[in-house]
Structure 1
Amino acid sequence: MKSLTKQSLFLLMILCLALKSFAQIHPNFTFKPEKPTNGQTVEMSYDAKGTPLEGKQKITSVVYQYINYKWVAADVPFSGGNNSWKASFKTPADCGFLAVKFKSDTLTDNNHDTGYFIMLQDKDRPGALAPGSYLGWGVARSPKTEMDIPGYMKFEGISDTATYMWFNQEITFNQANKSKLVVPYAKAVKNYLKDAATPKLRAAITFLTRTDATEDELLKARSISGNVMEDAKLKDSIDHIITTRFPKGSLARLAAFKNISTNKEMPAMVKAGEKFLADFPVAETNAEFDKENFINYGTVYQNIIVTGSYLDKNDDYLNKYINLLPYNILSTVFYKIVGIPYKRKDETDARLLAKTELLMSRYNYFLANQPADLAYLSPLEWKTNWEMERSKFEFIPYIGLLISAGKDEEAFKYTELAEKYLEYHDATVNNYYTILLQKRGETAHLKEVLKYSLYNNQATTEMLEMVKADYVKQNGSDKGYDDYLSKLKNPADKADFEKEVAEGMINKAMPEWSMKDMNGKVVSSKSLRGKTVILDFWATWCVPCKASFPGMKLAVEKYKNDKNVVFYFVDTEERGSTYKAEVMKYIKDNNYPFNILFDNTAAGSKQNSEVFDRICKEFTISGIPQKLFIDQNGKLRFISVGYNGSASALADDISTLVEMTKTAK
């Protein structure tokens, strides 16, 4: 061990020299005083020359503060020009280390992924670095620790040796914080010393399991023994100590949490979940232990709320727990109790809107009260992140429900916010926007939205009708309309799609099949030889299948006069005795000009999926919607899966695949 100690001292000396010569010196970033203390105002200067931000007219920054061993980000604007920028920043009194990222629009400068850093002196200990200074410098460049700054820089990381040294320095000069850092320190020791780390780790466990140890310290000893040392026997002995001293503590909470999932019936699971919440209130939990042992209060709330929404057909649980829902579970709850029923249309809009507004109130709470685990995002970054995520998902049904309730002004506000981030790349939001603009009589703005939507090929059939009506009004007829519409779309999208699908063209024989249509007439693969055939496998319970039908209708109508192209919509994977009647009613009610085929039911099967099952096995596919493109010789050429939400894009994609299938050799 003596030689190891000498090696460690040597490496420490090298690291200290590196720290002195590099950590505080950057060619484009300087600050005064040269050795700032925590709590002191730092005057920062930034020379943008030679950086990605050279010549920019506006520069701002995000300053990451290492406070109590957590990263907290702040927005700091810089003033100046001609590549010379300045800002003042008052460092928090409990901060040990700063990292800076400069920004202009979408561009950033982080010193070529080596970082702009400031180590702070301790205001209470002259000549000493502030608590967190050593470790901030170490973990900011050590992603392996999972204590670095998320998204700050792409860096493979310093060595295990260097990481250990910075942990060691932090604990050596800040003994009061050693219990707080003991688990990540133990991991750093293990990574550096490997098997030789055992004496150090056992010494730490001895300290953490002393007779007056707190439960938190014992839990840390448990983590080190189990996750770092992988010593099951030692971990079990510590478990015994914990359960003896704290019979209603964290291990009891872990057992109660695991017990919830042993209840197979949903009502029993809800009862167990409510008992867990009553016996182990979230306000009294140990968040670090919960994270390590996968105890998730959000999942408990989610299961109770979703069960109440679906089984009990009420929202009592949502009302009860809404103000306890953590941010990271909100989207899942929203999807299950709003997103799914909204798509399926199996709940009233009024009830869905009531649930949505409750959930949005919780979302808005977090917008104003940024979650602690996301403090590494600056306030402006957090606001942008929040708005962007909501625009991709929650705002979409919310806007539709607001329109349904006649709350057009509120719907318009959210639509404009969503388009700020989606930039006309979502057909559903584009459709809502055109509906609202039409109601408002904003004709010029409406035409602009239609133009941008069509350029991105993200339009609904209703939007296409608006475009066609305007074209006819302007030209007196629809002559030349198809060519006009084609020119509105981005030609690069079609070229990219053609290139992509051409590389994946298939040339395999299709299994033979025969199925009956809605009139009971048998249609077979043999009878269709010589034609280009599109089989669209769908089911009445499949939401994306039915959502794609307006786009498929456009494609079918395009080829209605081409006798060599036939579309068949194959209803599959249905159960019960009424599905045929349901299919025929659905097709009739929606005025779809589709040729329907019913998949066969194999002997002993409970669903009609005989043909689809054989095709899935033959081509290793699964799930619906699945669209198969078969050439005139009975060879499968393309498979198209799913639906991206745009009727216009789907129709164009189908048309491209049809044409490529027709000419395949």
Structure 2
Amino acid sequence: MKLKLTATLLLAASVAFAQQNEVNRFQQYRPIWENGTLAQKDSLATALLGEVKGYNTEQEYRTTMNLLYALGHEEDQKQLGVQAKKKFPKGSLTRDAFVSDVFYKAETSEAKEKAYKELTKKWPQKNFVGEELSYDYVLANLAGTYAKEGNATKAVSYLSEMKERFWRGNGYLPVAQTLLAAGDTTAAAPLLKTAMDDAYYYISLPEEQKDNKARFASMGYASSMSAYVGILVNQGKHAEALDLVEKALVVAPEQADGLASVYYKLLINANRKLEAFNILRGLYAKGQFGVEDDLKTLYTALNGSLQGYESFNTGLKNELLVAIREHIKEKETFKPAPAFELLNLKGETVSLASLKGKVVVLDFWATWCQPCIRSFPGMQAAQTAYENDDDVQFLFINTWERDKEYKKNVVSFIEKNKYPFEVLYDDQKDAETGQVMAAKFGVNGIPAKFVIDKEGNIRYFLTGSTPNVDYIKMEMKELIEAAKKPYKKG
């Protein structure tokens, strides 16, 4: 047993070392695949393909495939993938292709379960030390499908097979939410508690032990905590729920915003009205205007009437406005926007040159990007506010899609959600650099938003987003109105 364990540890260490070397190699060529000319990219691709005969590991093939994709040589990447799969028929590339082409395309839980069993038979997890997460993704998806079909027993059973503690909350939480929506609190509660406890474990680690996994795991604390506390509240266990939240805020004060909505309601129930009011005030001052009814109620309870409320409310909105203006000042820039001509959903060409004289808002997004999608209701509200302003144009630039059927998926997504957006496909590569438009604009992550003035200059560049509709609406108004004015340095 000891010899077997030692061998396993040595294998894991050697795999990790090899993977790190390949990561370093990928980054070595970053200047070329990110900013090189088309000629430089083609030259590097040719050189890489010339090295292939000397490859001995699947990781070498995978790294070169990733590089070829980054260089815009998708066909070469596909051909190399075919070679690698022939050389390593039981390797991770054939496994991943099976997962993508068979498991994820299965439409029912029974079909997915059959594919999962075939996966674990042909590519047993023990043969892929250090790649447990690849199997956890599949398990989470399978469990989620069973949950949606109402089979909680199967869903919970497959979740229990997940190995990576730092990530399993991402499988547990969606399944628990699905079960909660179906009224199955009994099955959902333990899942939420596990996800919550996992996140708490990583949050509580000493600072020197907090790696990227720990930081990732802690991000789900507020969501799992809020859902679990909701169950306790429905069971009438308000004191227990309040105690959990307050302990959480001690160890993870950075989660305060995520827990604020549930916290203030618990404080109201505990008759701690002033504390609840202060939290509500903070939420409202950050643009969460949906809490106004509760804010009014507490204002009246604490002051005896609504007298002075309007002035108070105006002060909070002015406070938010000042914060937004300070925030966008940090995002200010001034440089010519790269020219573009892209096709919209109707196949019509839309160019930046044709929009000269208008303030143009670009929103780079993808169908798989959840932060992008969460911001869309707010972006829709902002667009609606300017629907009668002929001097403003919103463009939603679909980029970085991973599916071959991306155009069909984009149309389906927009129609399903009834978004009145002008969507452009970012799939036209520059003849000189081979870059798509996102790269030309310097986008490294999405969502990414640019506000371009009437003369074609980028005035603001923002990354990330919030699901807060009122905040987005106010922020976009400030950005657009500022871009309408002549640029003043400083």
TM-score (norm 2): 0.55
- Name the CA shift for 1:661/1:253 in 2 (closer, same or farther; >3 Å): same
Structure-1 separation of matches of 2:354 and 2:394: 14
Structure-2 separation of matches of 1:557 and 1:444: 37
Structure-1 separation of matches of 2:426 and 2:200: 50
CA shift, 1:376, in A, is 9.6
Contact in 2 for aligned 1:571/1:596 (Cα 8 Å):
no
- Name the CA shift for 1:512/1:309 in 2 (closer, same or farther; >3 Å): closer
Asked if 1:250 is matched to 2:6, the reply is yes
Match of 1:506? 334
Contact in 2 for aligned 1:263/1:269 (Cα 8 Å):
no
- Name the CA shift for 1:654/1:414 in 2 (closer, same or farther; >3 Å): farther
Structure-2 separation of matches of 1:464 and 1:315: 39
- Name the CA shift for 1:454/1:565 in 2 (closer, same or farther; >3 Å): same
Structure-2 separation of matches of 1:655 and 1:469: 30
CA shift, 1:506, in A, is 2.8
- Alpha-carbon deviations, 1:206-226, whole Å to 9, x = none? xxxxxxxxx9xxxxxxxxxxx
Instruction: Write the letter of the residue equivalent to 1:428.
Output: G
Contact in 1 for aligned 2:284/2:291 (Cα 8 Å):
no
Q: Secondary structure at the match of 1:567?
A: strand
Contact in 1 for aligned 2:338/2:441 (Cα 8 Å):
no
Structure-2 separation of matches of 1:613 and 1:481: 51
Asked if 1:414 is matched to 2:244, the reply is yes
Instruction: Write the letter of the residue equivalent to 1:509.
Output: A
Match of 1:549? 376
Structure-2 separation of matches of 1:388 and 1:255: 27
CA shift, 1:616, in A, is 1.6
CA shift, 1:660, in A, is 3.0
Q: Secondary structure at the match of 2:449?
A: strand
- Name the CA shift for 1:536/1:461 in 2 (closer, same or farther; >3 Å): farther
Q: Secondary structure at the match of 1:620?
A: coil
- Name the CA shift for 1:642/1:354 in 2 (closer, same or farther; >3 Å): same
CA shift, 1:426, in A, is 5.2
Q: Secondary structure at the match of 1:448?
A: helix
Match of 1:428? 258
Match of 1:635? 457
What are the equivalent positions in structure 2 for 1:526-565 lying under 5 Å apart? Answer: 526-553=353-380, 555-556=382-383, 559=386, 562-565=389-392
Structure-2 separation of matches of 1:462 and 1:495: 22
Match of 2:416? 585
CA shift, 1:449, in A, is 0.9
CA shift, 1:647, in A, is 4.9
- Alpha-carbon deviations, 1:392-439, whole Å to 9, x = none? 532323313542683573554433334446658754322333455567
Q: Name structure 2 gaps, 5 residues minimum.
A: 17-57, 59-89, 100-115, 147-154
- Alpha-carbon deviations, 1:426-456, whole Å to 9, x = none? 543223334555677765443221113345x
Contact in 2 for aligned 1:515/1:597 (Cα 8 Å):
no
Higher RCO (Cα < 8 Å, 6 or more apart):
2
- Alpha-carbon deviations, 1:282-319, whole Å to 9, x = none? xxxxxxxxxxxxx76xx64x555443332465343543
CA shift, 1:639, in A, is 2.0
User: Which has more helix, going by share of residues?
Assistant: 2
Structure-1 separation of matches of 2:350 and 2:202: 57
Q: Secondary structure at the match of 1:535?
A: strand
Instruction: Write the letter of the residue equivalent to 1:549.
Output: F
What are the equivalent positions in structure 2 for 1:432-447 lying under 5 Å apart? Answer: 432-434=262-264, 436=266, 444-447=274-277
Give RMSD over aligned pairs: 5.1
What are the equivalent positions in structure 2 for 1:347-362 lying under 5 Å apart? Answer: 353-360=189-196
Structure-2 separation of matches of 1:249 and 1:445: 54
CA shift, 1:625, in A, is 1.4
Q: Secondary structure at the match of 2:408?
A: coil
- Alpha-carbon deviations, 1:95-131, whole Å to 9, x = none? xxxxxxxxxxxxxxxxxxxxxxxxxxxxxxxxxxxxx
Contact in 1 for aligned 2:449/2:461 (Cα 8 Å):
yes
Contact in 2 for aligned 1:270/1:303 (Cα 8 Å):
no
Structure-2 separation of matches of 1:275 and 1:538: 37
- Alpha-carbon deviations, 1:320-369, whole Å to 9, x = none? 67xxx7xxx5332323x146x479x77865566543323446678999xx
Structure-2 separation of matches of 1:319 and 1:531: 55
Contact in 1 for aligned 2:382/2:477 (Cα 8 Å):
yes
Q: 2:476 aligns with which of 648, 651, 654?
A: 654
CA shift, 1:567, in A, is 3.1
Structure-1 separation of matches of 2:368 and 2:383: 22
User: Which has more strand, going by share of residues?
Assistant: 1
Structure-1 separation of matches of 2:486 and 2:264: 39
- Name the CA shift for 1:392/1:415 in 2 (closer, same or farther; >3 Å): farther
- Name the CA shift for 1:522/1:388 in 2 (closer, same or farther; >3 Å): closer
Match of 2:167? 332
Structure-1 separation of matches of 2:313 and 2:156: 49
- Name the CA shift for 1:318/1:424 in 2 (closer, same or farther; >3 Å): closer
